[in-house]
Structure 1
Amino acid sequence: MSEKHTIKTVRSGAIFTLPYLVGLEKGYFAEEAIDLQLVEPGSYETAIKPIEDHHLVTSIGAIAKPFENGDVSFYRACEWGQVRRAQDSGRGHIVSKRASVASQAIFVRPDSPANHPQDLANKTVAVNFHHGSHYLAIQTLEGFVEPEELKVVHVGGPADRIRALRDGTVDAVAVMEPFITLALKQGYRLIAEAFYTGSEIASPDVEPEVYEAIDRAIRKAVADISSDVRPYLHYFVDEVPEDLGSISENDIQTWRLRYTDPAPYSQKEFDQTYRWLLKWGLVESGSDFGSLVTNQLPDQLPAQITSPITVSAQD
């Protein structure tokens, strides 16, 4: 493209936004005539006490509000949440899978009697409703405990969840990096962990050629991250609030940081996710692939997921 385009997107956690941070740092967006601007999300909806009913928490939360308000043109989040938000949104559709393949890990306190997932039956697991921690906690635990024994509760963002676990407000938490590293360093007990994909939602004003230019920059950044992630670990270290302690770059297990080239979101993936959301009452019926998904990337073979080849001091 010869004409320069200014595009704004949400600056979510480094685990989800790292390719954008690297692309900006390396000038890959500028090379594509994209003036990419990262906008800070709104505040997480934090509960004074854990909320048990997900209907009491909006799906249009911190990361989605700037989009719904028209302040940004696109944003990324977990696959399940994006299907729900695409249904609830008045502005956008799912346009591709995201580059980040993140994980959520479930932890308990060091003094907890829990040692494996079955031990969390009827125990409160703190999550952020309608985000990856919420959905992945259910998918992780539903194979181990009965549905009526699965007690996910809304607390808020990852820092709030760690505080709730520290203070004994909940029995367990689900968190992503860098809070996985923090929890491990502080001696919290890991019960289960799983990786999951996500997707991008964009507004109609992002033209296909603009999104393809953004995609080319992201692919260059993914290649850099996969070659050597160490120059970018400071983004994770900087996200840990001082009141929770600290981590160093050497504490981070780099095999957890997985990024892949973005790809179209297939109908098969959508249908499987939509059926699961319906089963748990996490989305309304009446939508389909055609109404929620408008792929903006050309059809291509599935990208190969790559992990950084470097190792940290604790690998």
Structure 2
Amino acid sequence: MIVCGALIVPPTSTVFTPQDLAHKLVALDYGNGTAYAGLQMLEGAMPREAITTRAAATSPAERFAGLMRGDFEATVLQEPWITVAEKAGCRLVSTTFFHGTWVATDQVSVEAYAALLRALTRAVRRINADKRRYVSYFIRDWAGHPEVAALRPDDFNLSRIQLKEPTPIPESEARWAWEWMASWGLLHGPFDVSSQINRRLEREAHELAADRKARHELL
């Protein structure tokens, strides 16, 4: 899963670039991918000591409401709230894309993981074939929020919706992510790939998913 995160400021903000947020309060949902994406966007624009953040609600609806009230200078949102913010006149001062991953317990079987991989692959292909058709699921999944209910499929910027078929996790990326998080004090100790990624299950599941997909295509 590829996720777009956007660093957003309200319509009246004097901030136009990430650098303008030095020593200004940015609300992040600590412990989630959007928060890590926010830190990466900020540290690419200023020294770490200039980055000023506070814990925010995990609900993007609450973060958007806080942004519009002026509780903080900026926050990071995903779709459909990026589109909601744009329609409200907010500005995107930076965007980034990152991998969303799934964490499985050791009780997950090769067969179950392979079935998940096949389902994800089919979903990615369907959505990539007609992204505009599927953005309506953003609206459906946020029922009860009038800001989202007011959106129409044509409001969405499809370039922010990126999907790729699932592949094994590259060790270099996993190591970099661990070491980066450790540098922020979010993780402790050295990276150990054997304790973080079950390579045997991963390999066998991908092989099984590919084999069954190939046999299905031959039918």
Give TM-score, length-normalised by structure 2: 0.86
SS of the residue corresponding to residue 193 of structure 1 reads: strand
Give 1:275 deviation, angstroms.
1.1
Query: Is 1:212–2:114 an aligned residue pair?
Result: yes
SS of the residue corresponding to residue 89 of structure 2 reads: coil
Give 1:244 deviation, angstroms.
3.9
Give 1:243 deviation, angstroms.
5.0
Do 1:107 and 1:174's aligned partners in 2 also have CA atoms closer than 8 Å? Answer: yes
After TM superposition, the structure 1 = structure 2 runs for residues 211-230 of structure 1, keeping only pairs within 5 Å, are 211-230=113-132
- Change in CA separation of 1:247 and 1:240 when aligned onto 2, cut-off 3 Å: farther
- Change in CA separation of 1:132 and 1:240 when aligned onto 2, cut-off 3 Å: farther
Give the AA of the match of 1:274: W
Q: Which residue of 2 aligns with 1:237?
A: 139
Q: Which residue of 1 aligns with 2:194?
A: 290
SS of the residue corresponding to residue 204 of structure 1 reads: coil
After TM superposition, the structure 1 = structure 2 runs for residues 128-147 of structure 1, keeping only pairs within 5 Å, are 128-147=29-48
Is there any run of 5+ residues in structure 2 with no aligned partner, and where? 207-219
Q: 2:157 aligns with which of 221, 228, 253?
A: 253
More helix as a share of residues: 2
For 1:152 and 1:241, the matched residues in 2 are separated by 29
CA RMSD of aligned residues (A): 1.7
Give a deviation string over 1:138-191, Cα, whole Å, max 9, x none: 111102112111012211121111011011111101000000110111100111
Do 2:132 and 2:154's aligned partners in 1 also have CA atoms closer than 8 Å? Answer: no
Give 1:230 deviation, angstroms.
2.6
For 1:298 and 1:227, the matched residues in 2 are separated by 28
Query: Is 1:125–2:26 an aligned residue pair?
Result: yes
Identify which range, 227-236 or 117-126, moves more after superposition: 227-236
Query: Is 1:195–2:97 an aligned residue pair?
Result: yes
- Change in CA separation of 1:102 and 1:240 when aligned onto 2, cut-off 3 Å: farther
Do 1:163 and 1:244's aligned partners in 2 also have CA atoms closer than 8 Å? Answer: no
Give the AA of the match of 1:298: R
Percent same amino acid at aligned positions?
A: 31
More strand as a share of residues: 1
For 1:169 and 1:145, the matched residues in 2 are separated by 22
Give the AA of the match of 1:266: P
Do 1:137 and 1:152's aligned partners in 2 also have CA atoms closer than 8 Å? Answer: no
Figure out how many residues of one structure are paired with residues of the other and give that number.
201
SS of the residue corresponding to residue 144 of structure 1 reads: coil
Give the AA of the match of 1:270: A
Query: Is 1:276–2:180 an aligned residue pair?
Result: yes
